Amino acid sequence: MSLVINHNLMAMNAARNLQTSYGALATSTRRLSSGLRVGNAADDAAGLAIRELMRADIKSMNQGIRNANDGISMIQVTDGALQVVDEKLIRLKELAMQASTGTYSSDQRLMIDSEYQAMCSEITRISNATDFNGIHMLNGHLSGDSTTHNGTGIDSVGALKIHFGTGNDSAEDYYYVSMGCSTASALGLGHLAAGKNAYSDAAIDAETDPTKKASMITANNAGQSISTQELAQQSLAAINNAIISKDKIRASLGALQNRLQNTITNLSIQAENMQASESRISDVDVAEEMTEFTREQILSQSAVAMLAQANSLPKMAMQLIQG
């Protein structure tokens, strides 16, 4: 290389190398300080796109876990209310058994029936009052199946949907929770339960045999009252049917709770593995990056030293000129 004074090519080369090393040093510093290998699209364009999709799925899965936990909480609240209803139904059967025997007078049966009606009213109150986050579960608003659900309005109607998946596939991403009505009248008990039993009012009206018609009226009123011995005896079967209806609701809720718990376990594993995958793409390997940082730091220091030396080389030409 010729000794010239118009250009300092060695200084230009050292400056270019310094710029390259210093830029790489800045990148390593940013990665080490942020913990991210992919901090912007220039670091890894494809990796950035994959990472952002993974982050969206991870956030959605974690929210899905919270949604499923909320569903379990709702089921537990409902099951607790039905447990109290169960106690009331047992008491109703005890009262019906008491009124079925012939050792009580009509006045005493009316007293027993007074408590019977009070228990029926309490069952209805519990069913109407039981709610989770303002959603009433046992008053019949959540009865039906997936075909009854309609979420197009501000307030959804029909079966309740618990969404936990990251998409909108009915086979993968949500469950429908259906809860039957557990008021006393829906269970066929109490004064408001007219027409809930064996015979319809129309069939009774159409019957011409007075004896059979009286029997049908009594059967139709089974469970409504225990004010007479016959009504009390026939109410035993009606109460058993009410207990079975209530237990069907509890059984379906218990099965759904187990499904949701398994769903939470599955989502937790998926989110954990997805987080690990996202980390392999996005996070910096500190040991590897620290090695690169040290290398670029040494190169930058060397480039600065050589640039200082290269800047002093034109002085040799001045020595020749000054002779």
Q: How far is CA 48 from CA 34, 36, 39, 280, in A?
A: 15, 11, 8, 12
- Sequential DSSP letters for 281-320: HHB--HHHHHHHHHHHHHHHHHHHHHHHHHHHTHHHHHHH
pLDDT at 245: 93
In whole angstroms, what separates CA 174 from the centre of its chain?
9
* Res. 201 pLDDT band, cuts 50 70 90: low
Over range 195-217, report the average pLDDT.
51
The vertex-129 CA angle with 66 and 144, nearest 5°, equals 65
First to last CA, the chain: 21
Specify the DSSP class assigned to residue 148: G
**Average confidence score pLDDT of the chain:** 88
Instruction: Give the percent of the chain with pLDDT over 70.
Output: 90
pLDDT at 322: 75
Quick one: the chain helix, strand, coil %, rounded to 5? 65, 5, 30
Nearest to 183, CA basis, from 130, 253, 135:
130
pLDDT at 210: 56
pLDDT at 56: 94
pLDDT at 90: 95
pLDDT digits (tens, 9 = 90+) for 17-60: 999 999 999 999 999 999 999 988 888 999 999 999 999 999 99
Rounded to whole angstroms, the Cα distance separating 298 from 24 reads: 12
- Higher pLDDT: 152 or 207? It is 152
pLDDT digits (tens, 9 = 90+) for 263-286: 999 999 999 999 999 999 999 999
Give bridge partners of residue 225 from the DSSP assignment. 222
* Residues 6+ away with beta carbon under 8 Å from 187: 89, 123, 193, 196, 241, 242, 245, 246
Which range, 143-147, 208-212, 267-271, is most confident? 267-271
pLDDT at 317: 76
Nearest to 113, CA basis, from 252, 3, 236, 232:
232
Query: What tokens appear for 313 in the block?
Result: 């080389």
Nearest to 15, CA basis, from 272, 291, 308, 315:
308
Q: Residue 150 region, left (φ>0) first, then alpha (ψ -120 to 50), else beta?
A: beta
